[in-house]
């Protein structure tokens, strides 16, 4: 709204661009991806040899910062990639997690 007050010449195109800006958050965007693809093993306590849970915001944030979570889901190497033993996630979901990290690991 500040923009509009100072500038009556904002074009319709500019306004449409503003509505496209969306911040990725854990609760809205990332948690459903983890719940659907990871917590079958990364539960609390973890199953099937997984080393840590990914059930909370803090768990997942810690894994992005210290356990190379993004490297693991991005990898094309089946011996390294996550989900363990499973197909690689669709690229749009991988990009969502990357964007979440770039946006600052916001919780909600």
82 is an interface residue for ligand HEC by CB under 6 A: yes
Q: Are 25 and 100 in contact (CB under 8 A)?
A: yes
Burial class (CB in 10 A: 0-12, 13-18, 19+), 34: buried
50 is an interface residue for ligand HEC by CB under 6 A: yes
Q: Which residue has the tokens 């997942």?
A: 60
User: Minimum distance from CB of 63 to ligand HEC (Å)?
Assistant: 5
User: Minimum distance from CB of 89 to ligand HEC (Å)?
Assistant: 6
Residues at the contact surface with ligand HEC, assessed by CB under 6 A: 37-38, 40-42, 48-51, 63, 67-69, 72-73, 82-86, 89
């Amino acid at each position: 709204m500040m923009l509009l007050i100072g500038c009556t010449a904002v074009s319709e195109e500019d306004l449409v661009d503003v509505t496209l800006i969306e911040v990725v958050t854990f609760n809205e965007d990332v948690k459903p991806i983890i719940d659907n693809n990871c917590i079958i093993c990364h539960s609390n306590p973890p199953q099937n040899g997984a080393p840590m849970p990914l059930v909370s915001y803090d768990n997942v944030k810690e894994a992005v910062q210290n356990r190379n979570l993004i490297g693991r889901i991005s990898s094309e190497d089946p011996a390294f990639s996550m989900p363990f033993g499973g197909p690689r996630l669709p690229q749009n979901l991988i990009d969502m997690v990357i964007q979440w990290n770039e946006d600052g690991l916001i919780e909600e």
